[in-house]
Structure 1
């Protein structure tokens, strides 16, 4: 009998109470699931299904732990935990991916077509100038993991030229791959819309600083559905206020919820969305978790393992 601890808020367990046992049954894993409220003996737990904001922060007592399966795509709040010795897997599931593709595609098209000027036009200005075609609006996708690759692919189908920047070379049909500092400068300087979907690690923290913003084309747009820590807030505000950047649409922030007095709320060139670009859907996530537990129990490699060598300290 495989013993699984669901370590997340009670409201989250209410969402998984039915789909997770069903998914485990479907892959043939005999199981017992407990929550933190059950006060389980840590030494009996094989797997932890985990939300990083859980009350569980010390993994030391979990002496037989085989793996931690994150409920979220982001792992920066757990991967640097020095008490975690077991393998860590991030969440990748179709609903999360499709949600991100729809948010990114929607906001790229919004800025590409200049929709804001038509949605809010109190002076009834008639400017009969059509936007350029997608082929004339290059996009940089910073981060070419599961989410970045899916978003880049969707944009290419609409005709946007896409350059993908990642730690290592990627082969994605229709996407030009660049790497390293020179590749980053190339991607930023060649794009009119920049999308941030790289993980937050030691090497990507504050990736979009004053120098990176200066390297972007005048009048370009920044979209950040990735992680708030990728962008230096003050540098972004300066680049927008001096007119170098046309707009920033932000879905993730260093502090969430975004404080009421944060200047992002009132800046005329910033759109704030409340971390809604993508969310894990319990049915799909339960299937991913169950498959990983099945793999682990069978001695097979886990899906979506995290490389913790770049974890934030």
Structure 2
């Protein structure tokens, strides 16, 4: 009997997956959405957003894969309990996130926003350079991506600290955990990076109350999810000087409306949700490894904890 794998996301990258599957797993019938073939033959589904009526549409589904590191776009209740959902853990996601955050932190540390403003005004003024070791960078979220970012920033010489819901330990990183230690963590974060998963507890966490606990003149990098940020509170904090600058890669909605003030704020740099991207070759290897594990009854990699939501 035919066994099908369906890819439901960006069709251009899907065609790369299709080529890789033909090379590495020719025994699987690879289908590019919306051409799913026989729905009863579909055992595996990779997607950014799930189709409606998942259970009825694919009654024999065995494994579901998110093509991204996050799963907040999923209604977990719509995925049958017996079907494991796995977030993407291919190496390219972490590598590209490390690159982007390093770029953002260095841009803030070396006053790039100020120099962009000076260039617009044809002004020539050198600003003092501080060693990276004197700049305290705080990372909200020490999961797969947060820990990778902390590792990269410490190699650049930054004084890194990290916060997570439960205690983590990383060499060269001052680690904080739980609500009781959040205030201390924020008070020592001159550049704050948000890499939290989006849950009911973290939605809107980047708000006026949090900004007030940062050192005056701190800056923000949001590469988590758009709904982490209360945009009106950030704009107020920027205008008051409590926050000096922000680099934003994620928004709610995406893209922001054309008249949104973030587009034109002189202390904000914006990018269109490109901080990290799944690399097809690594993603296919990761997915095929989990399919093999499933067939052999071994532990799967990256299974989402439905109670935590990530």
| Alignment TM-score > 0.5, same fold | yes
In 1, distance between residues paired with 2:233 and 2:115? 29
In 1, distance between residues paired with 2:112 and 2:305? 40
In 2, distance between residues paired with 1:14 and 1:173? 41
Runs (4+) off by over 6 Å: none
Partner of 1:116: 113
Distance change in 2, residues 1:233/1:84 (3 Å): farther
Distance change in 2, residues 1:22/1:131 (3 Å): same
SS at the partner of 1:78?
A: coil
- Out of 203, 225, 228, the position equivalent to 1:227 is 225
Unaligned runs of 5+ in 2: none
- Out of 34, 45, 56, the position equivalent to 1:37 is 34
Partner of 1:157: 155
In 2, distance between residues paired with 1:174 and 1:206? 29
Offset, 1:188 = 1.2
Partner of 1:6: 7
- Out of 189, 192, 211, the position equivalent to 1:191 is 189
Partner of 1:71: 67
Partner of 1:134: 132
Q: Which has the higher contact order (CA 8 A, sep 6+)?
A: 1
SS at the partner of 2:96?
A: helix
Partner of 1:279: 277
Task: Summarize deviations over 1:160-213 as a string: whole Å, max 9, x none.
Answer: 111111121112111121111122222211110000111101111111121111
Offset, 1:9 = 4.4
Offset, 1:250 = 0.3
- When structure 1 is superposed on structure 2, of 7-16 and 236-245 the one drifting more is 7-16
Calculate the aligned-residue CA RMSD, in Å. Answer: 1.9
SS at the partner of 1:148?
A: helix
Unaligned runs of 5+ in 1: none
Partner of 1:206: 204
Distance change in 2, residues 1:81/1:263 (3 Å): farther
- Out of 71, 85, 88, the position equivalent to 1:88 is 85
Partner of 1:57: 52
When normalised by structure 2's length, the TM-score is: 0.92
In 2, distance between residues paired with 1:201 and 1:20? 33
1:299 matched to 2:300? The reply is no
For the Cα contact (< 8 Å) 2:206–2:230, is it kept in 1? yes
- For residues 255-270 of structure 1, the aligned pairs below 5 Å read 255-270=253-268
- When structure 1 is superposed on structure 2, of 274-283 and 30-39 the one drifting more is 30-39
Task: Summarize deviations over 1:56-107 as a string: whole Å, max 9, x none.
Answer: 1321123322210111122111153434431111112222211110110011
SS at the partner of 1:308?
A: coil
For the Cα contact (< 8 Å) 1:79–1:308, is it kept in 2? no
For the Cα contact (< 8 Å) 2:48–2:73, is it kept in 1? no
Distance change in 2, residues 1:96/1:270 (3 Å): same
SS at the partner of 2:278?
A: coil
Offset, 1:34 = 2.3
